[in-house]
Amino acid sequence: MRSDDTIFATASGHGRAAVCIVRISGPQSWTILNTLGGSVPEPRRAAVRILREPGSGEPLDQALILWMPGPRSFTGEDQAELHIHGGLATRAAVLKVLGTIPDCRPAEAGEFTRRAFLNGRMDLSQVEGLADVIDAETEAQRRQAMLQLEGRLGDTAERWREEILQALALLEASLDFSDEGDVPEDLEADILQRLDRLHVEIGRALANRSGERLREGFTVVLAGPPNAGKSTLLNALARRDVAIVSPIAGTTRDVIEVHCDLGGLPVVVVDTAGLRESGDLIEQEGVSRARARAQDADLVLWLVPPEGEETDPPAARRLLRVGTKADVSRDRDDCDLVISASTGEGLADLITALEHEAETALGQGDALLTRERHRRALERAHHSLAAGRALLETGGPIELAAEEARLASRAVGEITGRVDVEDVLDRLFSSFCIGK
Ligand SMILES: Nc1nc2c(c(=O)[nH]1)N(C=O)[C@@H](CNc1ccc(C(=O)N[C@@H](CCC(=O)O)C(=O)O)cc1)CN2
Ligand SMILES: Nc1nc2c(ncn2[C@@H]2O[C@H](COP(=O)(O)OP(=O)(O)OP(=O)(O)O)[C@@H](O)[C@H]2O)c(=O)[nH]1
């Protein structure tokens, strides 16, 4: 992967469409526009051109084109865009011509954004925010991702890093004093106070776990004995036919997941195999998967049918008992809620309860951390700050306290990708679409 190559890719979706955007980045961008379009428009001004095949001069398409010279571009390199018609043949013809231009090749997944990162146009947390903007399925996820793209997490991490480095500088200064005798008391108190404040602030960010959950969605597992009405409820919540419903017990054997938007919040509803002892090997595997999913879920809805014997609910962090088939029997005082997926009775109350549960778990969208990667880095920083502070307080070696501050600053620096992130980069960029 050379970065003096010029890369190109369609940045809009696949399949026939009204318009298709071809993105181009790298030193050949100007030449490509000039060759295909006959002339290059003013920077960042859209212009219409007939694109022509080099050599033959045959028209390829009528397009809107853009010239965005570096460094004032998304990637920081010279960039061009061809807004062509979105027909399959048009797209294929334009891409084929681009492929024949020297030093020009199709982009890899996430390569435009990788170049933007390498050119300092965005930090790693913003790249993650951009990935999340593209993946956002609900309003709350979109809002959180936009805040991260705009630099809320990155700016905060950068401020923390600078404040740790200031404390480190003071520690180094006090090292000189300690060579000569005693460290002035007010200097030591100042450093302690700085480490303390950072420790508290980072601890507060770590305490809020709702960002990661908002990103991934609130998971609700539907569990219950066979024929309790789990698949019928899943279909009702999803408002479409996703799971097979039948009067035969043991119909659902695998785990079926549906992503729902409940009042702007992402809720993943998971249908599982009915819990019972079974001689059928495949059903047994389904039952053990059901138990595993119930254990990991944010919430289990334990579905209790009116008929049949009582079954024990699975182990769960949080569980609501939902009586099903209220149209058959409504005498269910052992349940938190009663529904009939057939008549729709009680469904609105169930959805309200789910929204409320999700809202409590996913918070106000004010979480700073949205990935385990952030949490791991900040946990190390938090630990080092506490260790440094303890060393200072107990009169331990200042060199060691300084080393802890250095470790803390490096850990915080991982958030914006200032340090040690090669392996993270490959994983992150490969999760992007081509053209991003
Ligand atoms: N057609 C098109 N739409 C798009 C994008 C794109 O690349 N092309 N984007 C791609 O992600 C997003 C918009 N993000 C962008 C971010 C920065 C720059 C950019 O050129 N920034 C320069 C110049 C700013 C200016 O005009 O003054 C800069 O920041 O220096 C462009 C798009 C969404 N929509
Ligand atoms: N009367 C009535 N029947 C229902 C209701 N909900 C589901 N049923 C019926 O109950 C039977 C079992 O429903 P499913 O949704 O397949 O049950 P399940 O819990 O997914 O069953 P397994 O896949 O075997 O675990 C089907 O015949 C449904 O039509 C309801 O609210 N009222």
Q: What was the pLDDT predicted at 434? A: 73
Best residue among 230, 231, 232 to mutate for probing ligand 2, ranked by most atoms within 8 Å of CB: 232
Domain span holding position 419: 152-208+370-431
- pLDDT average per 10 residues of sequence, the chain (436 residues): 85 90 97 96 97 94 96 97 96 96 94 94 96 93 96 96 91 75 77 94 94 92 89 86 69 79 89 76 77 90 85 89 86 85 90 92 86 96 96 89 93 86 69 74
Q: Where a domain ends, among 362, 380, 407?
A: 362
338 CA from centroid of ligand 2 (Å): 14
| Res 431: pLDDT | 73
Both 225 and 339 in one domain: the answer is: yes
**Integer distance in angstroms from the first to the last C-alpha of the chain?**
16
Single-letter residue type at 90: T
- Domain final position from 304, 332, 362: 362
> Closest-lying ligand to the alpha carbon of 286?
2
Q: Is residue 189 located within the same domain as residue 110? A: no
Sheet with 47-52: list strands edge to edge: 47-52, 59-68, 79-86, 17-25, 6-10, 104-106
**Together in a domain, 101 and 169:** no
Which ligand 2 atom sits closest to the C-alpha of 340? 31
User: Are 374 and 337 members of one domain?
Assistant: no
- Tell me the CA–centroid distance for residue 54 and ligand 1, in Å: 28
The answer to whether residue 129 sits within a structural domain is no
What three-state secondary structure class fits 175?
A: helix
Residue 147 lies in a domain: no
Measure 10 CA to ligand 1 centroid, in angstroms.
Answer: 15
CATH assignment of the domain containing 374: 1.20.120.430
Q: How far apart are CA 42 and CA 47, in angstroms?
A: 9
Verify that 258 and 394 share a domain, yes or no. no
Kindly state whether residues 180 and 249 are assigned to the same domain: no
In this structure, the answer to whether residues 203 and 221 fall within a common structural domain is: no
**Domain identity same for 167 and 106:** no
One-letter amino acid at 335 equals C
Residue nearest to atom 7 of ligand 2 (CA): 229
What is the model's pTM?
0.84
In this structure, is residue 131 part of a structural domain? no
In a domain, residue 130? The reply is: no
Domain at 315, CATH number: 3.40.50.300
Task: Look at residue 207 in the predicted model and tell me its pLDDT.
Answer: 93
What pLDDT, on the 0 to 100 scale, is given for residue 178?
Answer: 66
Question: How many domains, the chain?
Answer: 3
CA angle 59, 64, 68 (to 5 degrees): 120
Q: Which ligand is nearest to the CA of 110?
A: 1
The pairing of strands 319-323 and 337-338 is parallel
Evaluate whether residue 125 is within a structural domain. no
Q: Are residues 220 and 349 in the same domain?
A: yes
Q: Is residue 424 part of a domain?
A: yes
Looking at the fold, whether 166 and 35 belong to one and the same domain comes out as no
For residue 125, say whether it is annotated as part of any ligand binding site: no
Helix boundaries (H) for 342-397: 347-362, 372-393
State yes or no: ipTM above 0.90.
Answer: no
Whether 238 and 333 share a structural domain: yes
Do residues 304 and 375 both lie within one domain?
A: no
